[in-house]
């Protein structure tokens, strides 16, 4: 009865309500894109608080990005007011892991103010170890070792669990040994990497019975969004934590599993019912996000994957526009066209915040950035560590880290001679020697070495000044606001001056970035909080004021939605990626296809897919074929256009054979069976097929149909 419903239930459909109201016992919500999984999870959180089934601090809610956590916090806040204050355990696995690890750091040999390394630091450290181990870094690149260690960590394997076979995968059987050394070294500098945030916590939960019990008691309820992308170590966490109370609710979509390259295991969905017998499985089938054409296009593509759990999806929305496929001459024209279209939409009143450009690979953003800067179209880049990955930002952060944490050798190394202070390689080598011999952090060794006569007078003077500066900054840190501290450090160290002295346009941009960094710091209550944030940010959306077009990778767009979406670069070798093509087999190709499915289903009203006939790759122009996924789009829901070079004329789908990029395909010279347009099986039928073909029954308004939830509905 709507009148008596608490606010968070308003408008939810019956299976969503079921997911919200079934609070006790294991629940798995298995449903396609845009069916309101996250909405149901948010309402469930509100429900638990509203009915006082748990205090905010007794609920563990895992989201996939920090942004999603923030949104959930805001939404629950609107629904239940203050109760949401202090939801300490709402966040990403990494954020929650960092928090737990800070509380129990000593159990794995760290101090609670440990540093979280980024990949750059990680690689530098690994390189040192590789050299020290007398391995040829060319033959055994640090990157491979980093990837391998990451893989082990995602699987929940500590160095002692690496057997000879695994060890064989790097450096003639020395992989395990280097992994151990790396972990020792991290401990020595009081640092950990991303994988450790999960693995150390798992180690603690497995080893320390009392800690595990404490958390098992604490977390009355556990909820997980995007469950299809959990990896083994995350899965093991959840299993341990939920074992006692068994109040765990996971929501996911096997078709949106796109992180297997990071160790995610879609099989975790299948294991759920085994690990939690009697689990209630709920399916949501009404899509509230996208128009029928968009939905049918996405369904048509994903139907080409095998081994799906199978779902049904429908919508009540008006048909709307067909998905547009736009063939352009080259990359710059792609960016130009998208820019023009966005400007036109803007004139018609479109809010830029509701427009996104989604790319397969990070490097694709460059072309759009160039173009948008040229025409003055505001945009933001979201995802990855782009902003914080820039050299000047990393340098600035290294200064802050040295001040914050004397044991942070990697940060110290990065800036001890940046800007140049007249410290030669020899002086630095001496410093390293002393630090190693005395087992001291570099910043302490630096103070020590000044008392000796190891250094030349010039080096001694330079180092002396630097050591003095750092000591002074540490003092200042006690009473200056941290953003102000950062500003002063950058000035007094000569770092800002270094870029000011360089008159290039690039240097000007770097100075702007530094200003932006200090501005961003003001939003955090302490230096610790800020540095923690930097380590964790998955998305850089610090500036929120004006509406902006969003440019991001498909990976980063998971769970999000936009009115208007441009999907750029749908070409063989770009999307699906060359790597997926080179690997052959269906596994990586199917993951690419799931990416395509995620990409299309981000769109609410309009989706435009672009492919260019020519791309410049490593400075070479190459001609490219439209993506096979373009070929898989069901004809009935797609409208194709192609533009002449320069964009001066457009014409509709009735291409002449020569101009038709699919002509080769039609003549049978295409690439394999997935390449043909899958006609006839998609889109317009109205019955659900046994065996669970994802069918879109979308073209007339249908009444809301109650979908019964039965555990047996999932045939696994
Ligand atoms: P994804 O698989 O992409 O993560 P999802 O299943 O989590 O999607 P949501 O993001 O929760 O889907 O919801 C998609 C859209 O539908 C949102 O705009 C949400 O507000 C809206 N929505 C969800 N449930 C309902 C409902 N019962 N009535 C109306 N709108 C709804
Ligand atoms: Mg979601």
Distance 541 CA to ligand 2 centre (A): 19
Distance of alpha carbon 410 from alpha carbon 419, whole angstroms = 16
Residue with the smallest CA separation from ligand 1 atom 24 is 36
Distance of alpha carbon 183 from alpha carbon 159, whole angstroms = 8
- With a 6 Å cutoff on the Cβ, whether 35 touches ligand 1 is yes
- With a 6 Å cutoff on the Cβ, whether 38 touches ligand 1 is yes
Residue with the smallest CA separation from ligand 1 atom 25 is 36
The confidence score (pLDDT) of residue 294 equals: 97
| Cα–Cα distances in angstroms (integers) from residue 475 to residues 442, 467, 472, in the given order | 19, 13, 5
Per-residue model confidence as pLDDT tens digits over 222-272: 999 999 999 999 999 999 999 999 999 999 999 999 988 778 888 888 889
Distance of alpha carbon 8 from alpha carbon 502, whole angstroms = 56
Residue with the smallest CA separation from ligand 1 atom 23 is 36
- With a 6 Å cutoff on the Cβ, whether 253 touches ligand 1 is yes
Distance of alpha carbon 304 from alpha carbon 677, whole angstroms = 10
Q: Which residues of 417-429 are buried (b: 16+ CB within 10 A; e: fewer)?
A: bbeebebeeebbe
- With a 6 Å cutoff on the Cβ, whether 36 touches ligand 1 is yes
- Is the omega angle on the peptide bond into residue 576 within 30 degrees of 0, that is, cis? yes
Instruction: Locate 368 and state its tokens.
Output: 């759009």
Ligand in nearest proximity to the CA of 31: 1
Distance of alpha carbon 119 from alpha carbon 507, whole angstroms = 24
| DSSP β-bridge partners for residue 248 | 222
Question: Phi, psi at residue 169, to the nearest 5°?
Answer: -75, -5
Is 529 marked within a binding site? no
| Cα–Cα distances in angstroms (integers) from residue 614 to residues 234, 339, 361, 624, in the given order | 42, 19, 17, 6
Distance of alpha carbon 703 from alpha carbon 155, whole angstroms = 45
346 is catalytic: no
In 3D space, the residue among 263, 261, 126 whose CA is nearest the CA of residue 191 turns out to be 126
Burial of 160 (0-12, 13-18, 19+ CB in 10 A): exposed
134 is catalytic: no
DSSP letter for each residue of 502-550: --SHHHHHHHHHHHHHHHHHTTSSSHHHHHHHHHH-S------SS--EE
Catalytic residue, chosen from 118, 166, 196, 226, is 226
Distance of alpha carbon 318 from alpha carbon 293, whole angstroms = 9
The confidence score (pLDDT) of residue 251 equals: 96
The confidence score (pLDDT) of residue 645 equals: 42
- With a 6 Å cutoff on the Cβ, whether 63 touches ligand 1 is no
Catalytic residue, chosen from 73, 360, 430, 602, is 602
Token look-up 């044991």 returns 407
Is 31 marked within a binding site? yes
- With a 6 Å cutoff on the Cβ, whether 11 touches ligand 1 is yes
Is 203 marked within a binding site? no
Catalytic residue, chosen from 256, 291, 365, 496, is 256
Per-residue model confidence as pLDDT tens digits over 306-334: 888 878 889 999 889 999 999 999 998 99
| Cα–Cα distances in angstroms (integers) from residue 521 to residues 119, 525, 530, in the given order | 22, 8, 6
Element (H, E) at 161: none
426 is catalytic: no
Q: What is the DSSP letter of 627?
A: P
In 3D space, the residue among 258, 198, 299 whose CA is nearest the CA of residue 557 turns out to be 258
Q: State yes or no: ipTM above 0.85.
A: yes
Is 568 marked within a binding site? no
Distance of alpha carbon 55 from alpha carbon 59, whole angstroms = 7
- With a 6 Å cutoff on the Cβ, whether 288 touches ligand 1 is yes
37 is catalytic: yes
Is 670 in contact with 664 (CB distance < 8 Å)? yes
Is 558 marked within a binding site? no
Burial of 113 (0-12, 13-18, 19+ CB in 10 A): middle
Listed in sequence order, the DSSP H helices in 537-602 are 578-583, 587-600
Distance 43 CA to ligand 2 centre (A): 13
DSSP letter for each residue of 326-394: EEEEEHHHHHHHHHHHHHHHHHTT--GGGEEEEESSGGGHHHHHHHHHHHT--EEEESTTHHHHSHHHH
- With a 6 Å cutoff on the Cβ, whether 17 touches ligand 1 is no
Instruction: Locate 327 and state its tokens.
Output: 């063939």
> What are the residues whose beta carbons fall under 8 Å from the beta carbon of 637, sequence distance 6 or more?
292, 293, 294, 296, 297, 300, 322, 323, 683
Distance 255 CA to ligand 2 centre (A): 13
Element (H, E) at 427: helix 425-438
Is 33 marked within a binding site? yes
| Positions in the chain short of pLDDT 50 | 384-385, 538-543, 644-716
What is the distance between the terminal CA atoms of the chain, rounded to a whole angstrom?
A: 36
Distance 34 CA to ligand 1 centre (A): 5
Q: What's the number of CA atoms in the CB half-sphere (13 Å) around residue 242?
A: 27
Distance 2 CA to ligand 1 centre (A): 20
Q: What's the number of CA atoms in the CB half-sphere (13 Å) around residue 446?
A: 27
In 3D space, the residue among 263, 202, 227 whose CA is nearest the CA of residue 28 turns out to be 227
**Which three-class secondary structure state does DSSP give residue 630?**
helix
421 is catalytic: no
Distance of alpha carbon 318 from alpha carbon 51, whole angstroms = 37
602 is catalytic: yes
Instruction: Locate 691 and state its tokens.
Output: 């065996």
- With a 6 Å cutoff on the Cβ, whether 404 touches ligand 1 is no
């Amino acid at each position: 009865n709507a009148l008596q419903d608490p606010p968070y239930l308003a408008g939810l459909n019956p299976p969503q309500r079921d997911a919200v109201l079934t609070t006790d016992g294991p629940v798995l919500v298995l449903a396609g894109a845009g069916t309101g999984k996250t909405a149901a999870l948010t309402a469930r959180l509100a429900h638990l608080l509203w009915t006082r089934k748990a205090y905010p601090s007794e609920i563990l809610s895992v989201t996939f990005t920090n942004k999603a956590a923030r949104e959930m916090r805001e939404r629950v806040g609107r629904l239940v007011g203050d109760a949401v204050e202090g939801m300490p355990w709402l966040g990403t696995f990494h954020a929650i892991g960092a928090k737990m690890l800070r509380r129990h750091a000593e159990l794995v040999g760290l101090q609670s103010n440990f540093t979280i390394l980024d990949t750059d630091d990680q690689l530098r450290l690994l390189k040192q170890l590789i050299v020290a181990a007398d391995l040829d870094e060319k033959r055994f690149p640090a990157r491979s070792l980093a990837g391998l260690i990451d893989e082990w960590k995602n699987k929940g394997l500590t160095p002692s669990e690496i057997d000879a076979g695994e060890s064989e995968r790097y450096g003639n059987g020395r992989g395990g040994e280097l992994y151990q050394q790396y972990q020792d070294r991290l401990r020595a500098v009081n640092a950990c990497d991303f994988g450790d945030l999960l693995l150390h916590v798992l180690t603690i939960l497995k080893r320390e019975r009392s800690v595990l019990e404490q958390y098992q008691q604490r977390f009355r309820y556990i909820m997980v969004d995007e469950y299809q992308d959990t990896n083994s170590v995350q899965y093991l966490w959840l299993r341990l934590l939920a074992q006692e109370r068994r109040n765990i609710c996971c929501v996911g979509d096997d078709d949106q599993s796109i992180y297997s390259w990071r160790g995610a295991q879609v099989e975790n969905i299948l294991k759920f019912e085994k690990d939690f017998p009697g689990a209630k499985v709920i399916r949501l089938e009404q899509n509230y996000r996208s128009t029928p054409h968009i939905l049918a296009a996405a369904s048509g593509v994903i139907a080409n994957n095998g081994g799906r759990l199978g779902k049904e999806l429908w919508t009540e929305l008006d048909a709307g526009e067909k998905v547009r496929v736009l063939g352009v001459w080259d990359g710059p024209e792609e960016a130009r066209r998208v820019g023009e279209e966005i400007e036109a939409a803007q004139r018609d009143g479109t809010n830029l915040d509701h427009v996104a450009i989604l790319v397969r690979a990070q490097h694709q953003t460059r072309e759009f950035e160039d173009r948008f800067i040229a025409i003055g179209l505001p945009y933001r880049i979201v995802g990855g560590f782009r902003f914080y990955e820039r050299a000047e930002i990393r340098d600035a952060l290294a200064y802050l880290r040295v001040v914050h944490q004397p044991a942070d050798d990697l940060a110290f190394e990065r800036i001890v001679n940046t800007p140049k202070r007249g410290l030669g390689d020899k002086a630095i080598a001496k410093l390293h020697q002393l630090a190693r011999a005395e087992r001291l952090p570099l910043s302490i060794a630096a103070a020590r070495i000044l008392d000796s006569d190891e250094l030349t007078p010039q080096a001694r003077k330079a180092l002396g000044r630097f050591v003095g500066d750092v000591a002074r900054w540490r003092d200042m840190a006690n009473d200056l606001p941290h953003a102000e501290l950062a500003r002063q450090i950058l000035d007094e160290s000569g770092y800002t001056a270094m870029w000011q002295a360089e008159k290039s346009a690039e240097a000007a941009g770097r100075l702007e970035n530094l200003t932006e960094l200090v501005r961003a710091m003001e939003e955090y209550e302490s230096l610790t909080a800020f540095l923690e944030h930097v380590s964790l940010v998955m998305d850089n959306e610090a500036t929120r004021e004006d509406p902006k077009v969003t440019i991001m990778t498909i990976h980063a767009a998971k769970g999000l939605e936009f009115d208007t979406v441009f999907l750029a670069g749908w070409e063989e070798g770009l999307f699906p990626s060359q790597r997926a093509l080179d690997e052959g087999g269906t596994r990586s190709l199917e993951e690419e296809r799931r990416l395509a499915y995620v990409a299309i289903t981000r769109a609410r009203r309009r989706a435009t897919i672009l492919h260019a006939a020519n791309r410049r790759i490593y400075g070479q122009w190459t001609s490219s074929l439209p993506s096979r996924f373009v070929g898989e789009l069901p004809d009935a829901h797609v409208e194709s256009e192609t533009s002449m070079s320069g964009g001066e004329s457009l014409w509709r789908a009735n291409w002449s054979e020569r101009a038709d990029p699919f002509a080769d395909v039609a003549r049978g010279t295409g690439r394999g069976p997935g390449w043909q347009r899958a006609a006839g099986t998609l889109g317009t039928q109205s019955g659900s097929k046994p065996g669970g073909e994802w069918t879109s029954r979308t073209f007339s308004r249908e009444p809301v149909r109650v979908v019964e939830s039965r555990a047996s509905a999932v045939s696994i």
